[in-house]
Amino acid sequence: MADSFTTSVLRIATGSTETVTDLTHDCEEFLTRTAAGRDGLLNVFVPHATAGIAVLEVGAGSDDDLLAALHTLLPADERWQHRHGSPGHGRDHVLPALVPPHATLPVIAGQLALGTWQSVCLVDTNMDNPDRQVRLSFLG
């Protein structure tokens, strides 16, 4: 049985371009304040219909590769039924089906248990909404 549940909201400004924003340091800081050497789970959730959470390598081009792949799979054109905002904005509403709005990650002894090259990232292709929230919740 879990001893505690703690949650906090990050406010992220993604700007006016498609982005992959590394949240790993924010997650680690949150766990330093809340996990206190305990084992548990970190849930990362973005409460927006047009953004997602991914675990991937950043800094070596994988983040740019992800955005390029999303452009191929979800082109920003007029094919989408959802048609408000910027041209092709309907694709942004399909994004969470491919990059889910959440990730649940193991925490061991208060530390995020990621692989060597893994980072926790906010994926945001919606250029119409540059202000995002990300909820971090620790259960342990």
Contact in structure between 125 and 78 (CB atoms under 8 Å): no
pLDDT of residue 1: 45
Residue numbers of the domain that contains 110: 5-139
Furthest CA-CA distance within the chain: 50
pLDDT of residue 2: 56
User: Which helix (DSSP H) or strand (DSSP E) does residue 122 occupy?
Assistant: strand 119-124
Residue 130 phi, psi (nearest 5): -80, -5
* Rg of the chain over all Cα atoms, to the nearest angstrom: 16
3-state class (DSSP) for residue 18: coil
Tell me the CATH number at 113: 2.60.120.460
Name the percent of the chain lying above pLDDT 90. Answer: 79
Work out the angle at residue 30's Cα, subtended by the Cα atoms of residues 134 and 106, and round it to the nearest 5 degrees: 85
pLDDT of residue 80: 87
Chunked into runs of 10 residues, the chain (140 residues) has average pLDDT values of: 84 92 98 96 97 95 96 91 83 95 98 96 92 97
For residue 15, the tally of other CB atoms under 10 A from its CB is 12
